[in-house]
Amino acid sequence: DVKVTQSSRYLVKRTGEKVFLECVQDMDHENMFWYRQDPGLGLRLIYFSYDVKMKEKGDIPEGYSVSREKKERFSLILESASTNQTSMYLCASSPPGQGSYEQYFGPGTRLTVT
């Protein structure tokens, strides 16, 4: 079974802190994604990556950056956390291809910025 793991289930950080969210997948998938999930808004794509060292902005990249140094690991970085970044963060991976493949999700990290 595909397994996508995220480094923390719950995280509490202070405004202005630099925050790292880590995601690891064990299925050798080329594609990895970071979303945030907010009530009534569904999932919104922050960043995605097609391959090692490659990244593309999603729909809401402001205030975030990413790193993909190894194929299995995709990190989301909040450069200076703000209260409006309090959310559920979901990582996902998928095989290469033009969209017919499903995404496999991690359990999520619920981040609270105070």
Rounded Cα distance, 110 and 36, in Å: 10
Of the candidates 7, 30, 58, 86, which one interacts with another protein according to CB under 8 A?
58
Can residue 90 be called a binding residue for another protein (CB under 8 A)?
A: yes
Closest listed residue to residue 51, CA positions, set 96, 2, 101: 96
Query: Which residues, including other chains, have CB under 8 Å from residue 25's CB and lie 6 or more apart?
Result: 2, 3, 4, 5, 32, 72, 74, 93, 104
Can residue 12 be called a binding residue for another protein (CB under 8 A)?
A: no
Binding to another protein (CB under 8 A) within 28-47 occurs at 33, 35, 40-43, 45
Can residue 68 be called a binding residue for another protein (CB under 8 A)?
A: no
- Stretch touching another protein by CB under 8 A, among 11-19, 62-70, 73-81, 100-108: 100-108
Rounded Cα distance, 90 and 81, in Å: 17
Can residue 103 be called a binding residue for another protein (CB under 8 A)?
A: yes
Q: How far is the CB of 107 from another protein (least distance, A)?
A: 5
Can residue 1 be called a binding residue for another protein (CB under 8 A)?
A: no
Kindly report the number of other CB atoms within 10 A of residue 9's CB atom: 10
User: For binding to another protein (CB under 8 A), which residues are involved?
Assistant: 4, 33, 35, 40-43, 45, 48, 56, 58, 90, 92, 97-100, 102-108
